[in-house]
Amino acid sequence: MMLRAAWRQRGADPRNSFGRPFDLTVRSDGWTAVADLGLRAPILLSPSGNWNGPAVEAGSGENQIGVPGSVRWSAGGNLLVADPTAAKILEVPVPGAVVTGRLDLSGEAATRYRAVSGLREFLLGSDGLLVERRWFNQGPGAEGIGTAGLVSYDVVSGTGPDTLMSVETRFVRGVGLAGYSPGHLQPLMGAGPGGAIALAGDIPEYRVRILGSDRTDSLVVCRTVDALPLSDDERGQVSEGEEVSRSMAALAGAPVAERPLAMGRVFIGGDGRLWVQRQRERVTTGYPEGATYDFFAPGGEYEGTVTAPPGAILFGSGGGLVVGVYRDPENRPWVTGWHLVRVD
């Protein structure tokens, strides 16, 4: 399989162009929402890639977003925009920009999520809010990113937080999340439509569990593949200007996993497809550009493998498209829609 560009979008004009696309979600019909930290707003794109402007105004008001930390689609097709700085989520009908509801995290939940990089992955449904929470402490003499910490996936409902999965982490070469691991493994999670959750990384092998709304396995997807090779970071090979000294120093002194992970990232598209990224994140650059992805039908059948174009990262699928972010040779981000094309 290969990707053939259908459209690409840079912005409405030079002053309203994508600066730092942080998160992206695709609805089943191809509507795309982009959380852009440069514009500090969630931007809507039609299925044909047309710019439809911010879904919510930027600001600190009740119906405004300070920082669009993450975007997802509700089961009813509305856009959910998370603001981790204000510990709130707004629901927006699409197309349109009229807020119809909100969920505030208060009390214990607000204390837990306000000051962390949570609200990365979430779903809002009858069973509550699913949140990915990441916290890393500081190693000796470190500033900023540390060498150990915690990753947890929590369901927040009216009865309070309920932890679905939680692990202590440390640097280990050959695992996920840019080298963080509870010993040898790192859980990977992707939130999908209708309350589906993809969990992986609890074992080194290629296995993804799809959880239904009752939090039990509704599907298990497995493949027999080799473990992923070490990244340039893990081998100590970084380009000039990329090195993050305290992180790289911690990684360089870390052991190599006895059984390296076979997957780097999982996510579920708006069309229900499961995507498995076959390269890990890097400490210096995050999600890898030009990575290879396996993709599976909603029923778990393997459909094929595709490699993203150089400079591109895939984020979702829907409406007959695969959507991601492509950076051109001048390092400018373009949100791009591709068609999946079979190569005989």
| pLDDT 10s digits, 191-220 | 776 667 788 877 888 999 887 766 678 899
Whether 24 has a pLDDT exceeding 70, the answer reads yes
pLDDT value of residue 186 = 53
pLDDT value of residue 110 = 45
pLDDT band at 297; cut points 50, 70, 90: very high
Inter-residue contact 213 to 195 (CB < 8 Å): yes
DSSP per position, 243-277: --HHHHHHHHTSPBPSS--S-SEEEE-TTS-EEEE
pLDDT band at 14; cut points 50, 70, 90: confident
**pLDDT of 121-168, one tens digit each?**
555 554 556 666 655 554 443 333 445 566 666 665 555 556 666 666
Q: ∠ at Cα 213 (210, 217), nearest 5°?
A: 35
- Any alpha helices (H) in 171-295, and if so which ranges? 245-252
Question: Region 29-35: what's the mean pLDDT?
Answer: 92
**Identity of the residue numbered 128:** G
**pLDDT of 85-123, one tens digit each?**
776 778 777 764 445 555 555 544 444 444 344 455 555
% of the chain exceeding 70 in pLDDT: 68
Beta bridge partners of 130: 155
pLDDT value of residue 134 = 58
Provide the whole-model pTM: 0.84
Q: Where are the domains of the chain?
A: 2-341
**Identity of the residue numbered 91:** E
Whether 250 has a pLDDT exceeding 60, the answer reads yes
Domain 2-341 in CATH 2.120.10.30? The answer is: yes
pLDDT value of residue 157 = 56
Inter-residue contact 43 to 22 (CB < 8 Å): no
pLDDT value of residue 51 = 92
pLDDT value of residue 177 = 55
- CA-to-CA distance for 30 and 46, rounded, in angstroms? 7
**What φ, ψ does residue 251 adopt, rounded to 5°?**
-70, -40
**pLDDT of 269-296, one tens digit each?**
989 899 999 998 877 777 889 999 999 9
- CA-to-CA distance for 217 and 227, rounded, in angstroms? 24
